[in-house]
């Protein structure tokens, strides 16, 4: 089980920095400082603090999946036949190494995992679900939902105390 990380005290300036980086992680420090309303040196100190506190854990690039021949995305819901820590660990290790997997969510409710995948086409998706996921001994059921559209919020929710 993962331990809950202690909450970090952030102010509105920290959120402006996070929102700006979430929208464009390639901003120069000078551009970021202007968006946050800080001097470049103060902005750099804040970013370094956010990284040290692991609020910022890395920087990612958004990639046009279609340009790579990926024509279809889907969310695959997986339900186990029998639950055990060994099954969870084994299945998680297995799906982590699948090249089609973009994101993995271990969830509560009727399913055990939601797996976001990117594949070339419907045949590729069928081979993944039927040939590789459903064939696993711990899996009782898979249900696939094709993704028509996806988007990511450009700002983070604010849970600052008023």
**Tell me, what's the pLDDT at 52?**
94
Per-domain boundaries in the chain: 12-52, 65-147
Mean of the pLDDT values across residues 25-32? 95
Instruction: Using alpha carbons, list the distances in angstroms from residue 62 to 25, 31, 38, 56, 151.
Output: 10, 20, 27, 17, 11
Mean of the pLDDT values across residues 12-35? 94
CATH number of 65-147: 3.30.70.920
Report whether 102 contacts 116 (CB < 8 A): yes
Report whether 117 contacts 73 (CB < 8 A): yes
Report the C-alpha gap between 95 and 135 in whole angstroms: 13
Whole-prediction pTM value? 0.78
**Tell me, what's the pLDDT at 162?**
42
**Tell me, what's the pLDDT at 65?**
86
CATH classification of 12-52, choosing from 1.10.10.10, 1.10.340.30, 3.40.50.620, 3.30.70.360? 1.10.10.10
* H-type alpha helices, the chain: 12-23, 29-36, 40-52, 85-96, 122-126
Whether pLDDT at 2 is above 70: no
Report the C-alpha gap between 24 and 54 in whole angstroms: 19
Report the C-alpha gap between 149 and 162 in whole angstroms: 35
**Tell me, what's the pLDDT at 61?**
84
Q: Confidence class of residue 5 from pLDDT cuts 50, 70 and 90?
A: low
């Amino acid at each position: 089980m993962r331990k809950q990380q202690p909450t970090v005290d952030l102010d509105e300036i920290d959120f402006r920095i996070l929102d700006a980086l979430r929208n464009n992680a390639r901003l120069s420090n000078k551009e970021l400082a202007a968006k946050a309303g800080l001097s470049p040196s103060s902005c750099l100190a804040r970013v370094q603090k956010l990284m040290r506190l692991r609020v910022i854990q890395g920087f990612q690039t958004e990639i046009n999946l279609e340009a790579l021949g990926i024509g279809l995305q889907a969310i695959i819901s997986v339900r186990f036949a029998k639950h055990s820590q060994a099954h969870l660990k084994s299945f998680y290790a297995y799906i982590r190494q699948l090249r089609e997997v973009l994101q993995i969510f271990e969830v509560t409710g009727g399913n055990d995992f939601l797996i976001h995948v990117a594949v070339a086409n419907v045949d590729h998706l069928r081979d993944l679900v039927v040939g590789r996921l459903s064939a696993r001994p711990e899996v009782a059921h898979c249900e696939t939902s094709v993704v028509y559209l996806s988007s990511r919020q450009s700002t983070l929710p604010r849970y600052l105390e008023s």
